[in-house]
Chain A
Amino acid sequence: MASLRDIKTRINATKKTSQITKAMEMVSASKLNRAENNAKSFVPYMEKIQDVVASVALGSSNANHPMLVKRPVKKTGYLVITSDRGLAGAYNSNVLRTVYQTIQKRHKSTDEYAVIAIGRIGLSFFTKRNIPVVLNITGLPDQPSFADIKRIANQTVNMFADGTFDELYMYYNHYVSAIQQDVTEKKLLPLTDLAANKKLTSYEFEPSQEEILEVLLPQYAESLIYGALLDAKASEHAARMTAMKNATDNAKELIRTLTLSYNRARQAAITQEITEIVAGANALQ
């Protein structure tokens, strides 16, 4: 049995750890709050642009912009959003496992695909496994603005436009609620699912429909990437909050059992002392 002092030390250490995890939980909770707000302020933009894209692209019969048309797939791009730091439970491993399995299943050689990694954890995961990473960005702030992601979004969309990729998928954790985040696969390009949910407005085009699509579609695709990032960030904070809450709970449970064995050990020591005194007294008689 561990000595009284050892148990005491462990109790103290566990208490310190639980204080830290508790603090991290609260930090994540407030970050989650802000991430939710960011996602909310993005909604009007997304809705608007979706509306216009659907109206413009579906409004006429001969919309044959390259970003709308499926082409034979020679190379697939995977855009994977992970976090920069760990301690977020299964947040990163869920996404990475899904991507890794999908890639193994769909492709035979590394020529057929490439990865665009957002977040340090994903980047090191793919480099370690010799999976080609064409673009990466790390060190994004917790509340990313569009300007932070603009460059990589732009390059990604351009890689589709210039034929580097023939299709592009996004993988990220979709934020359902504070306790649930689902790994989502979303086909980003070509844009095939432009469902118009409202009645379409017929527009005048200035100068022409083709030229408008030229501007509109890349902007739309970039905003989809940004939307996914906001979603993923909210999930990250939620996952970290849950992970830290679990850690705090576990620490509390551990402290409880340790305190119990500490008290037992203390009681045992006292009993032993009494027995020794009594035995000593008896021996003197």
Chain B
Amino acid sequence: MKTIKVSVVTPDGPVYEADVEMVSAKAQSGELGILPGHIPMVAPLQIGAVRLKKGGNTELVAVSGGFLEVRPDQVTILAQAAEKAEDIDVERAKAAKERAERRLQSKQEDIDLRRAELALQRAINRLNVAGKRG
């Protein structure tokens, strides 16, 4: 089966690099599946899981936004934060989730609702990805 090289890169260094058969990610315009031979493309991503299919297995990488770039020979995902399922710190994500929920419920004027919502989304995404592993 044909494969395509995928790398997930963050400012703190590369997170994932491998040849896979299919990449699927949640773009802002909807779910997106990339197979080898896709035309060059750029698309911003939502906070969500990127699924990488390789020899019958599916690996998950949690990304916090960013975007996806497709070239004839390579797919690159550039995100400000990304973790492989096994690297996620579940305790920290849980704490972040609770913190964000508290903020959203407190309904104070001075908090940035949008930021709290994004933080909540990121935490939930991490927990989801970590939970699906294995």
Contacts and interface: CB of A to CB of B under 8 A. Distances in A.
Interface of A: 38, 41-42, 44-45, 48-49, 52, 55-56, 145-147, 150, 201-207, 211-212, 214-216, 219, 222-223, 226-227
Interface size class of B (residues with CB under 8 A): 20 to 34
Contact of A203 (B7, B10, B41): B41
Contact of B80 (A150, A201, A203): A150
Contact of B11 (A55, A146, A215): A146
B98 to A, nearest CB: 18
Contact of A201 (B9, B14, B40, B66): B40
A41 B11 CA distance: 8
B29 A206 contact: yes
B3 interface: no
Contact of B29 (A49, A201, A207, A222): A207
Interface in B18-73: 27-29, 32, 39-44, 65-67, 69-71
Nearest to A40: B13
A201 B43 CA distance: 14
A56 to B, nearest CB: 6
Contacts of B7: 44
B90 interface: no
Contacts of B78: 45, 48-49, 52, 219
Contact of B43 (A38, A42, A48, A206): A206
B83 to A, nearest CB: 12
A194 B88 CA distance: 35
A52 B42 CA distance: 8
Given A52-B78, A204-B39, A216-B44, A44 B14 contact: yes
